[in-house]
Amino acid sequence: MKAVLFEKYGSPNKVLEIKDLAKPIPKANEVLIKIYATAVNDYDWSIVRRKIL
């Protein structure tokens, strides 16, 4: 599966990476949910840049 990861703070075009990861296997009493779409807002970008609004 593909995932967008960020493991350090900084400019989004420098710290966000697209990686292929193994598909997670749910444990007992867990479910696996497939996400088709999501949204990014100003607060999310401030977390990536380590700047609080």
29 backbone φψ class: left, alpha, beta (φ>0; ψ -120 to 50) = left
**Contact status, residue 9 vs residue 52, Cβ threshold 8 Å:** no
- When divided into structural domains, the chain yields a total of 1
**Contact status, residue 17 vs residue 4, Cβ threshold 8 Å:** yes
> What predicted TM-score, i.e. pTM, was given to this entire model?
0.52
Full pLDDT tens readout for the chain, 53 residues: 888 887 877 777 777 889 999 999 999 999 999 888 888 787 777 777 776 65
Residue ranges making up the domain that contains 34: 2-49
